[in-house]
Amino acid sequence: MTMNITQAGPSSQEISQFLACSVQEQRTLTPQEETLTRDYYLNIVNDLSTNMDSKRRRLMKELGHDLGASLGYTVYDQQQQPITVVHHHWEAQSHELTEMPIAQEIPYSPILILGRYDNCDIKITNAHVSRYHVVMFMYREAIVVLDSWSLVGTVCTDMNMAYTRRTVQDERKLLIYPANTPLHMLLGQHCIVFNPQPCMRCDKNYRYYCLPRVLCEYNKHYYDQNREIISDKVSCHHALLCFACRKELVDYYRPFSDDVDPPAHQPETSSAFERLGWDGHSYVLKIGEAQTAEGMVCKICQEIR
């Protein structure tokens, strides 16, 4: 897309057009597009003459509406229900959560700013998170994630589709998801889940963990056909369990190494996990199961396939 930008800088319409163009062409932003969008954004958020509410309103009035129009999305015309988010801290070395997740309810807004500053809609006190790390536009049809040129970037996972995408330095792109998607976001070492779903075991806490070596029948069939080229630790990667339930399961199976099969019959004390069965290669998923012609299937897999 050829851009003719005036010395005064690009307008929100011009920025929206090349952002939408990058989505339609399924590409990252060019260095020029990235620079222009960053300068436009920082010119607004670094304006010391206005408060954060004014900056947020201007971003939504200009970029939010113009971008939505370019992508074919509409803004809600009335107030919506509060948004629930769950915070986790992620340990990079162990790839484990280091503390019990914390739920937070925030008022609905068509634009949300996440970052380290006190005036962000979602404040994250983590040294790896930028002052204004991410801008999210909450449209009627979609969630649009725009990384605000943070140093470490943003990694997002659609927890329904178990599909991960990232927007990082030199690979900036808009990340777009259907509205109300359970969305996992990794900002440095801090994790946030939007629209969290209940644990499939306790139905009380919010689910976060997928289970390595747990296969539903869909993925078990794929594994059987491709056993030589993939690890025996594959799974459908759908989040099923909360922090507490997953910890209980791991603590129970911890004595058994990858070379030692768990016992064929679990003791009564582990009856809470009797729906996980060992077939010699993996734990066949029976949590949140749906009985189909293929056998026991991950409930999420059944709903999306």
Every domain of the chain and the residues it spans: 12-194, 214-255+271-304
Q: Average pLDDT in the 113-123 region?
A: 91
* Per-residue pLDDT at 174 exceeds 70: yes
Query: What pLDDT shows up at residue 149?
Result: 82
Confidence of residue 138 (pLDDT cuts 50, 70, 90): very high
Q: Which residue has the tokens 């962000």?
A: 120
Q: Which tens digit of pLDDT belongs to each residue from 145-160?
A: 999 788 899 999 888 7
- CA gap 101, 216 in Å, rounded: 26
Query: What pLDDT shows up at residue 246?
Result: 75
* Per-residue pLDDT at 220 exceeds 90: no
Q: Average pLDDT in the 111-136 region?
A: 91
Query: What pLDDT shows up at residue 85?
Result: 92
Looking at per-residue pLDDT, the higher value among 285 and 68 belongs to 68
Query: What pLDDT shows up at residue 159?
Result: 82
Looking at per-residue pLDDT, the higher value among 101 and 217 belongs to 101
- Give 301's Cβ-side CA count (13 Å radius): 25
Instruction: Note whether 208 and 243 are within 8 A (CB).
Output: yes
CATH topology of domain 12-194: Tumour Suppressor Smad4 (2.60.200)
Q: Which tens digit of pLDDT belongs to each residue from 57-108?
A: 999 999 999 999 999 999 987 888 899 998 877 665 555 665 667 888 999 9
Sequence-separated (6 or more) residues with CB below 8 Å from residue 50: 58
Query: What pLDDT shows up at residue 141?
Result: 94
Question: Torsions phi, psi of 245, nearest 5?
Answer: -70, -40
Confidence of residue 264 (pLDDT cuts 50, 70, 90): very low
How is residue 78 written in tokens?
Answer: 């009335």
* Per-residue pLDDT at 260 exceeds 60: no
* Per-residue pLDDT at 272 exceeds 60: no
